Structure 1
Amino acid sequence: MPVVKSHYNPPHIFKSGHFSTIYSGLYRNVSGVYQKRERITLSDQDFIDLDWSYAAYHPNTSKLIVILHGLEGNAQRAYVKGTAKIFNRNGYDAVGMNFRSCSGQPNRLYRSYNAGATEDLREVMEHILTNYPQYSHIVLKGFSLGGNMLLKYLGEPIRIPKEIKAGIAVSVPCQLKGSLLQMNRVENYLYSRMFIKYLQKKLETKNASFPNLIKLEDIKKANSLLKIDDLYSSKAHGYEDAFDYYKKCSSRQFLPYIKIPTLLINAKNDSFLSKDCFPVEEAEKNANFYLEIPKYGGHVGFFDEDNIYYTEKRALNFATLA
């Protein structure tokens, strides 16, 4: 489909990409979502934690939304709970997928998660479909890194379960190398330092469990996102180096092959995204792929009234029409 016209027009202060990004990431709070945790064991004997919340007044619903968080996020982030809340209120159960090592406890293996780890999403979907056969209408929604994973999953040459009816992705660096270069810009310095700090701390935990595989001195030297991806993200997951990882895991190359209704919302003023992260050509050529480029929103920062964000309303609307 051609690019979808966006009607998002936030209050004046939220027209700043940086303000909306920071406010939504640090200060937004979503109450009234009660999550129940389920731990599943993966085929490699590692684990993933799922956080469930349930539809209000719909105890036997057949509808489910599966939510994927971003880099160093988890299922308790406001953007995950905000999505769960609006869908719970509209007849959907919701499950937030915590990526390996992101649920508050280190995972068991040296590997963890990355932007292209669709094998983990496939196992989660197999678990849900096997153990919860009542869900016949499933929607997937992913944010940032999780959105890249989602789009890659939907476009890979492996059959998508018929129960999956739609996908929604928000603020997605669908060309990973371009986004990495964008994060190196001065305007993104504070964001980059925050991510580097979190990731180095995670790698120190890996060193404690796997001292023969990663050294503390190398972790200290990995003082950029590129160096961290070169040291760990790529090698731990079977890629030659960071650029091999970016090339093979970027979701943009998979967009032409998406066969179910899928919406990507990337704000024009998202400082995390390069121009390669706005796949207009793919949207124009694939009738199943919808691209919306709001002028405002920053990175996962689509503030709207009543603490219900624009992308949460759009996701529900899109899922209803799918």
Structure 2
Amino acid sequence: MKAPFTDRDCQDCGFHAQERRPDLSASKSAPGSRPTEYSLAAAREVPSSYRAPRWLPGGHLQTIHARFLGRNYPVRYRRERWLTPDDDFIDLDTVKGSPDSGRLIVLFHGLEGCSRSHYALSLMTLAAQLGWGGVVPHFRGCSGEANRRLRSYHSGDSGEIDWILRRIKHKRPDCRIYAAGVSLGGNMLLKWLGEQGEGASAVVERAVAVSAPVDLVAAAGELDFGIKRILYAEHFLRSMRPKTAAKIAAHGATIDPCAVSGSRTFRQFDDLYTAPIHGFKDAEDYWRRSSCKPWLKSIRVPTLLLNARNDPFLPSAALPGPGDVSEAVTLEFPGAGGHAGFVSGRFPGRLEWLPRRITQFFNVGIGDSRADPLS
């Protein structure tokens, strides 16, 4: 099967689809990889069934290795472009051949991610196997084409989440919508859920946030120094710097494109571009006002917050406790998994545990056992 997009279409991946298509709904699985079923009586932290394979120790390896497994989950997408209210555009990729089952998973990707990120491919593969619809909206500039305006996307842009979800609901009013967000997309989704409160239930049924950097100040403190700056911050900035410098030059902005191109930390980049362009005083102000953690007590839609305690992007001390969230929020913090990793099985591993956990949570109360393929 030919990949529907080339490397040029996605800065994040560059993976090519292969012929083999793993059956995520099969009954076999690695020991300890079965999602556990939970009720939603009150805010609490629940034990997790996830166990990292012995051959993949540590948060760094669990984070990095997962990226190379996305090629095993080929997904064919149909692309649709929406014009935004501010005369820009976003591209949405919908899984081809998705049946009109009345259930739709909307996945918001992470920083510089896209519909071909490993977590998107594995989740959309399972959604298709379960007969659910799946769509991945791309944040501005993440679909392989620069957006039209000087502004971009950022961790606190819950307004963009609101516009996307409400338009999807307007187009499919009888469809049950389930929202998921990974990393930056998870923070944005959680912030939107908290801001909307009860109002979010008119749009989405349930939500899952995976590896969300709920405290951006703490996350930046982790990623801007030492080996993490080299492994992660530089990886993202290598993609963000040229796109942003070109955008600045095209719009004649007063920001120095050379300074942006020379930024080596998130603080430098956010001080120079993200903060001033998106209405924040500086990087610190942007991180503080964009963090979803203060909004978690206001969430009223059943929500799962899933973060590994060894996530290199966020210190475990910054994770919320039951007292930091509303009764609608379930906390699940496995000891391992890395950042959006959660690899399972024998070498070279599989990405089955995370999409199963997500769909199992979405399925609670519906009574369709297919959402837990292992049941």
Provide TM-score, normalisation by structure 1: 0.93
Q: Where do 1:36-51 residues align within 5 Å?
A: 36-51=78-93
Residue 211 of structure 2 corresponds to residue 171 of structure 1: yes
In structure 2, C-alpha distance between the alignment counterparts of 1:130 and 1:2, rounded to whole Å: 33
1:294 CA displacement: 0.5
In structure 2, C-alpha distance between the alignment counterparts of 1:152 and 1:180, rounded to whole Å: 18
Contact 1:54 1:92 in 2 (8 A): no
Q: What CA deviation, in whole Å up to 9, does each residue of 1:32-76 have, x standing for no partner? A: 4110001001110111100001566xx321100000111111111
Q: Percent identity?
A: 33
In structure 2, C-alpha distance between the alignment counterparts of 1:209 and 1:134, rounded to whole Å: 42
Report the counterpart of residue 143 of structure 1 in structure 2. 182
Report the counterpart of residue 316 of structure 1 in structure 2. 359
Q: Which moved more, 1:288-297 or 1:178-187?
A: 178-187
1:286 CA displacement: 2.1
Q: Pick from 122, 138, 157: which aligns with 1:117?
A: 157
In structure 2, C-alpha distance between the alignment counterparts of 1:215 and 1:163, rounded to whole Å: 41
Q: What CA deviation, in whole Å up to 9, does each residue of 1:77-99 have, x standing for no partner? A: 11111111112211210000100
- How many residue pairs align between the two structures? 318
- 3-state DSSP class of the match of 2:160? helix
Q: What CA deviation, in whole Å up to 9, does each residue of 1:148-193 have, x standing for no partner? A: 0010010004621524111101111100000000112323122121
Contact 2:105 2:134 in 1 (8 A): yes
Contact 2:81 2:89 in 1 (8 A): yes
Letter in 2 for 1:33: V
Letter in 1 for 2:177: I
Q: Which moved more, 1:76-85 or 1:157-166?
A: 157-166
- 3-state DSSP class of the match of 1:13? coil
Q: What CA deviation, in whole Å up to 9, does each residue of 1:247-280 have, x standing for no partner? A: 1110000000000110011101111102353101
Report the counterpart of residue 83 of structure 1 in structure 2. 123
Residue 312 of structure 2 corresponds to residue 246 of structure 1: no
Report the counterpart of residue 138 of structure 2 in structure 1. 98
Instruction: Kindly indicate which of the two structures has a greater share of residues assigned to helix.
Output: 1
Contact 1:267 1:296 in 2 (8 A): yes
For structure 1, list consecutive stretches of 5 or more residues without a partner in the other structure. Answer: none
Letter in 1 for 2:110: G
Report the counterpart of residue 7 of structure 2 in structure 1. none
In structure 1, C-alpha distance between the alignment counterparts of 2:201 and 2:51, rounded to whole Å: 36
Q: Cα 1:140–1:282, aligned 2, differ >3 Å: closer, same or farther?
A: farther
Report the counterpart of residue 231 of structure 2 in structure 1. 190
Contact 2:180 2:207 in 1 (8 A): yes
1:2 CA displacement: 1.6
- 3-state DSSP class of the match of 1:141? strand
Letter in 2 for 1:117: D
Contact 2:70 2:121 in 1 (8 A): no
In structure 2, C-alpha distance between the alignment counterparts of 1:97 and 1:60, rounded to whole Å: 19
Residue 170 of structure 2 corresponds to residue 130 of structure 1: yes
Q: Which moved more, 1:122-131 or 1:227-236?
A: 122-131
- Aligned CA-pair RMSD: 1.7
Letter in 2 for 1:253: P
Report the counterpart of residue 246 of structure 2 in structure 1. 205
For structure 2, list consecutive stretches of 5 or more residues without a partner in the other structure. Answer: 1-42, 366-375
Q: Where do 1:18-97 residues align within 5 Å?
A: 18-54=60-96, 59-97=99-137
In structure 2, C-alpha distance between the alignment counterparts of 1:19 and 1:4, rounded to whole Å: 25
Letter in 2 for 1:69: H
